[in-house]
Amino acid sequence: MKNKIALIALLSAIIISNAFALEYQVEASKKNLVKFISNAPVEDFEGTTNKIDGYIALPDASNLYNAEVYFEVDLNSVDTGIGLRNRHMRENYLHTDKYPFTSFKGKISEVKKVSDSEYDVKVNGDMSIHGVTKNKLISGKINFKSAGMSVNSKFTVKLTDYKIEVPQLMFVKISEEIKLELYFNLKKSE
């Protein structure tokens, strides 16, 4: 009986450890960029950061379909180029003292091969901003490189969906929809 229990425990550990055949993690030393773009009647501006972390875990080393995707961005590091605007954005709208990160976790639900190293993908998952989590479908490109991969994605979020007050200047709203552009590099985990 003890041998059967030990065998079951060993097999369970092997199955769990092999749940993902290959994992790639964001490579912080590479050029990574997250850009927040607001296009509004009064003023266009953008904020940028390279403080992104996360991973892509492939269930099969030769297939992206159903891979788990997770990334998070440090909102305290977003820079709009104007110190006062940065502070107002963090303190009055994003409340980064309480919600310092935005994150996305999902699975690749569609894969289209563009070339031997490039794939168009769609990821279905949960986006968390300002303490609110919403389901979101995000499109992107994955390019395999010799030592890893790069990810490129553009999508839009509506601030009010995440209970973020839309700032107003003299009765003219700043954009309620923020465009996000992400470009980051990942390397194989060891």
Rounded to two decimals, what is the model's pTM? 0.83
% of the chain surpassing 90 pLDDT: 71
Token pair for residue 53? 């972390």
pLDDT tens by residue, 84-96: 989 988 998 899 9
DSSP state for residue 60 in the 8-state scheme: B
Residue 1 banded pLDDT, cuts 50, 70, 90: low
Domain 20-188 is of which CATH architecture? Beta Barrel (2.40)
In the predicted structure, residue 149 carries a pLDDT above the cut 60: yes
Q: Higher confidence at residue 116 or residue 40?
A: 116
| CA atoms of 61 and 67, how far apart (whole Å) | 10
- The predicted pLDDT at position 175 comes to 79
Token pair for residue 2? 């003890």
Amino acid code (one letter) for 21 = A
Residue 137, CB-side half-sphere exposure with 13 Å CA sphere = 4
Q: Is 14 exposed, middle or buried (0-12, 13-18, 19+ CB in 10 A)?
A: exposed
Question: Which one, of 25, 23, 123, 114, lies nearest residue 65 by Cα?
Answer: 123
Residue 19 banded pLDDT, cuts 50, 70, 90: low
- The predicted pLDDT at position 111 comes to 97
CA 63 to the chain's CA centroid: 20
CA distances for 185 relative to 33, 52, 54, 104, angstroms? 9, 10, 10, 16
Residue 161 banded pLDDT, cuts 50, 70, 90: very high
Over residues 103-110, mean pLDDT: 98
Q: Higher confidence at residue 77 or residue 171?
A: 77
CA distances for 59 relative to 18, 95, 112, angstroms? 8, 36, 17
- The predicted pLDDT at position 12 comes to 43
